[in-house]
Amino acid sequence: MTVIKTLIHWSAYAYYLYVFGYASLFKVFQKQTMMQNMQNLGFNKTWTILIGIGELIGVVLLIIGLFKPPIKNLAVLILFPFAVGAFTTHMSHNEYEHYYNSLLMCILSIVLLVTDKEFKIIL
């Protein structure tokens, strides 16, 4: 069972890193289609870049987390609000073709934390 759990964890991690990686870089480097889509959602250039920088910080922490596991969990906790925000924004604008990735990022945030050996919630 631990092999399956480990496989799920690292598969989720790789996809999580991929999606947030390209999304953050497209925002920070102002790719035309990303800027246009964010403008259509009501975000101006400044907010789009700030969102991209926040996501990029999370991505950098995810990469550092490969070597220091507690940092990886911090990165997931930082990126989770961005995933929720993207999901609610796409849903509220009826952009159903884009909301699947953001919904998956919300789910993968939980999966990454639940399947991590180092992460515990104590109530």
Q: How far apart are CA 84 and CA 95, in angstroms?
A: 15
Residues with Cβ within 8 Å of 36's Cβ and at least 6 positions away in sequence, in order, are: none
Per-residue pLDDT tens listing for the chain (123 residues): 689 999 999 999 999 999 999 999 999 999 999 999 899 888 999 999 999 999 999 999 999 999 998 899 999 999 999 999 999 998 888 877 777 888 999 999 999 999 998 888 888
Long-range contacts for 2-7 (Cβ within 8 Å, ≥24 apart)?
5/115, 6/115
**Helices and strands (H, E) in the chain, number of each type:** 5, 0
